Amino acid sequence: MGRTLLILLSGFAVSFGILAYSKDRRMLESVDRMVNRVEDYSTKNTATSGAYMALNKLYQSNSWRTGYSSMYLGSDSLSVIIDDNSTDASIKANYIRVLSASYNSGSADTTRVMLFDGGIGEFAVWAKDSVTNVTTNDSSNNPDASLKMAPAPYMPEIDKTALTDEALAQGKVETGSAFHPNDGYPNGNFLASGSVPNVTHVQGDLYVHNGRTIYGIFIVEGNVYMDPDGALFGVVYMPNANTSIDHLGGGVDLGRIRGGVITWGTMDGGTNIIRVRHYPQYLNSFISNYASDNQPLRVVAWE
């Protein structure tokens, strides 16, 4: 009996020892996992903080490219690199990339941010959808493909209500399925009076026919059709998707727009060409009156 009891007690002691060791090991592993998770959170938060710091600097000056190096936030090391097309050819023009990297003894993390640097007034064509058979020239009539932004990284905030209200106040609301303005419409000038631009709300399609030149801001709910010798001096704003600006074809000249185009739809010159010449004064008038809330620097991707 005594020997049996001794054996049982010894067995219990060994079992309790194994259980205690196993419990301690699980506790240590749990602590290690918790420490690793805290380190992961720390580097992620530091990398994110670095990105926000860089964005703040860029919003103050979009030419800032210094970044940060050998900076410490707590126990985390932080480095931030700012790149654009001048330093990395793989980055598209008008884009800025922010790489914010953080690491500590047990973890590392990187936040990547892509920004678009440029306002809608800097472009002759700003299109959400595809643009084909369209050329863009600068205000001196020199070809400049960089004035064409399509597909655009975002669509700007535009006060359509203010635009349509102004058109109504001016008596320039066209409710038919198609509008065929006469040459010189509405007054032979981009401006209605003083510094106020002409604003026409076309609820159907707009046709710019041969030998006719029209002026002002045109809000077009349908499509725009340009004859070869037709011209528009001003801004075309097309707020609806699945709409288009098309060339009607034929003739020896090109469908011409002097000013700018902002469209949720497409542009297609077909077998001909639609030529858009950038007139900043028309676009600036449009923006200052109806699209003033758009910042030129905008985040378009974050990971």
When pLDDT is averaged across residues 179-192 and rounded to a whole number, the result is 97
Residue 120's φ and ψ, nearest 5 degrees, are -65, -25
- Residue 84's pLDDT band, with cuts at 50, 70 and 90, is very high
246, β-bridge pairs: 225, 268
For residue 3, the model assigns a pLDDT of: 53
Mean pLDDT of all residues in 196-213: 96
pLDDT band at 198 (very low <50, low <70, confident <90, very high): very high
How much is the pLDDT for 107? Answer: 84
Tell me the mean pLDDT in the region 154-178: 96
Q: Quick check: 161 pLDDT over 70?
A: yes
Average pLDDT over residues 116-137: 93
76 pLDDT more than 90 = no
Q: What pLDDT was estimated at residue 67?
A: 93
Percent of all residues in the chain with a pLDDT value above 90, rounded to a whole number: 65
Average pLDDT, the chain: 86
Averaged over 80-99, what is the pLDDT? 93
Q: Is the pLDDT of residue 36 over 50?
A: no
Q: Within 10 Å of residue 84's Cβ, how many Cβ atoms?
A: 18
Residue-level pLDDT at 7: 45
Strand partners, 232: 214, 257
In this predicted structure, the answer to whether residue 228 has a pLDDT above a threshold of 80 is yes
More confident residue, 186 or 46: 186
Across 215-237, average pLDDT: 95
Instruction: State mean pLDDT over 252-276.
Output: 85
pLDDT beyond 70 at 117: yes
CA angle 136, 63, 45 (to 5 degrees): 115
Q: How confident is the model at residue 258 (pLDDT cuts 50, 70, 90)?
A: very high
